[in-house]
Amino acid sequence: MQLTIRFFLFPALLLSWFPILGQNAVTLQDCYHLAEANTAIAQNPQLFEKITVLKLENIDASRLPTVQWNAKATWQNEVFGLPFSFPGVDFNIPKYNVLTNLEANYVLLDGGFSEAKKTIEKAKLAVDNQSVTVELNKLREQVDRFFFGAALLQTQTKMLELTQKDLAAKAAQLEAAVRHGVALESEVLKLQVEQLKVQSKIEEIGSDRRALLSVLSSLLGQTLDENSKLELPNPQSAIQNPQSNRPELALFDLQKAQVLASADLIGAQWNPKVAAFAITGVGYPDPLNFFDDKISPYFIGGVQFSWKFLDWKQADRERQQLSVQLQLIENQKQTFTQNLEHQDGKFREDIAKLQNQIQRDEEIAKLQAEILKQLSSQLDNGVATATDYLLQSDAELQARLAMEAHRVQLVQVEAAWRTWKGVGIGN
C-alpha cells in the first residue's frame, strides 16, 4: 500500500510547493512532482484500494453463515396414490402444496478457495497501482519538453539582455564622442537601431516563453508567469546505477504474480469442501410425511461434503493457459528491456556529441569576445565603424547563444536518459 500512501501525501506536498514556486527557482524535480499530483489519475490508487477493500470484505463475508427465506406454492394434476385401499383408512393427498422455510448454510471448509480469491484481488491491486505509476512516468516527457523549451528561451533572453546592455553602454560612449566632435552621429544611430532590434527579439522570445510556461502551468496545476525562474539540473551525464528502474519492469513482475495467484485458485477449486446446513419451516401437506395432509412444521439439518476429483483435464488445460500467459509477459519484458539497452547507445552518443560541441562553443565564444573587445577599442579611437562593431557583436552573441543552447540540450538529453532508465535526476 506504499503507493497509495504516496498519493495520499500529494495534497500536502502541493501546499508546501506553493511558496517555493512563488519565491524561489522552479526545479525540474518540482515540476515532476507537481505534474504527477495534478493529473486526475493520481487519485486512482485510492479508488483501487477502496474497491479492493470492498471485495475482500465480501470474500470474508462469504465464509459467514447465510440465512435465506424461501416460499413456494404448487399445483399438480396428479398425486401419489395406492392401487388398493385399506378398510377404514382414508388416504387423500392434495394436488396443491404450500411450503415456506428458513435455510441456513455455513461453510466449514472451502479448500482455501476464499484465500486464493483474496490473493488474486491483492495482486490485481498491485498491478493497477503500478499501471498508474507507468502512466505518471509518461508525464515526465511532457514536462521535459516544455520545461527545457522555456529554459532555453530564458537563457537566450539573458544573453540578449547582456548584449543590449553592452550596446547601450557603447552608444553612451559614442554620444560623448559626438559631443566632442570626434564621432559621427550616424554611428550612434546605428547602435540605437540595433538596440531596438535586440529589444524586439527579447519581446518575441518573451512571448514564446510565456506560451510554453502557460502549457507547463496547466500540467503542474500551478501558475508560472514570465518572472518565474527555471533552474536547470546540474549536468550529470554518468548514470551511477546502470540498471534500469523503469516502472514497466515492476509492472511485468506484478502481472506474473497475478497469473500465479490465479493458478492457486485453480488448485483450490478441486480441494474438498465441507458445509453445515439447516432448514426449518412449515408446509402443507407435511413435506417429510406425505401421509400427513395437515399444515406441519418440519426441520432438516446436516453436513454436506463435496469433492470434485474428475474434471477430464480441465484444470491441466487452465494451468497450461496460465503458463502461456506467463511466457507472453516474459516476452514483453525481454522486448522492453532490449529496447532500453538499444536506446542507451544513442543517449551516450548524443551526450558525447553535445559535450564536444560545448567545448568548441566555449573556444569560439572566447575568441569572438576577444575580437569584439578589440573592435570596441578601435571604435572608440575612430579606427573602426559602428557597422564593424555591430557585425562582430552579433557574431559574438550568436556564439554565446549556440553555447548556451547546447548546454540546455545536454541537460535535457541527460534528463531524458534518466527518465528512460527510470532513475532519479539531480537538481
Q: How far is CA 361 from CA 52, 135, 399, in A?
A: 58, 38, 7
Q: Measured between alpha carbons, how far is 93 from 80 in angstroms, rounded to an integer?
A: 7
Question: Domain limits of the chain?
Answer: 2-63+111-272+312-421, 67-109+275-306
161 membership: H or E segment, kind and range: helix 113-179
Radius of gyration of the chain (CA): 40
In DSSP terms, 302 is beta-bridged to 277
Per-residue confidence (pLDDT) for residue 6, from 0 to 100: 45
Note if the bond before 285 is cis, omega within 30 degrees: yes
pLDDT reading at 17 higher than 60: no
Q: Which of 51-60, 229-238, 301-310 has the lowest mean pLDDT?
A: 229-238
Q: How far is CA 252 from CA 182, 259, 425, in A?
A: 78, 11, 24
CA 235, 238, 243, 248 dihedral sign is: positive
Q: Measured between alpha carbons, how far is 360 from 135 in angstroms, rounded to an integer?
A: 39
Q: Which residues, including other chains, have CB under 8 Å from residue 385's CB and lie 6 or more apart? A: 187, 379
Tell me, yes or no, if the pTM score tops 0.85. no
- Are residues 132 and 88 in contact, defined by beta-carbon separation less than 8 angstroms? no
Averaged pLDDT, 67-73: 92
Per-residue confidence (pLDDT) for residue 424, from 0 to 100: 63
204 membership: H or E segment, kind and range: helix 185-220
Neighbour count for residue 40 (Cβ, 10 Å): 6
How far apart, in Å, do the first and last CA atoms of the chain sit? Answer: 29
**Using one digit for the tens of pLDDT, what is the confidence trace for 350-397?**
999 999 999 999 999 999 999 999 988 888 887 888 888 899 999 999
- Band (pLDDT 50/70/90 cuts) for residue 243 is low
**Using one digit for the tens of pLDDT, what is the confidence trace for 407-425?**
999 999 988 888 888 876 5
Neighbour count for residue 3 (Cβ, 10 Å): 17
**Strands 96-109 and 273-284: what pairing?**
antiparallel
DSSP conformation class of 177: H
Q: Class for domain 2-63+111-272+312-421, per CATH?
A: mainly alpha
**Using one digit for the tens of pLDDT, what is the confidence trace for 103-141?**
999 988 888 889 999 999 999 999 999 999 999 988 888
Q: Which of 80-84, 176-180, 196-200, 414-418 has the lowest mean pLDDT?
A: 80-84
With vertex at residue 327, the alpha carbon angle to CA 323 and CA 330, rounded to the nearest 5 degrees, is 140
pLDDT reading at 242 higher than 80: no
Per-residue confidence (pLDDT) for residue 239, from 0 to 100: 57
Q: Which of 15-19, 139-143, 225-229, 365-369 has the lowest mean pLDDT?
A: 15-19
pLDDT reading at 223 higher than 50: yes
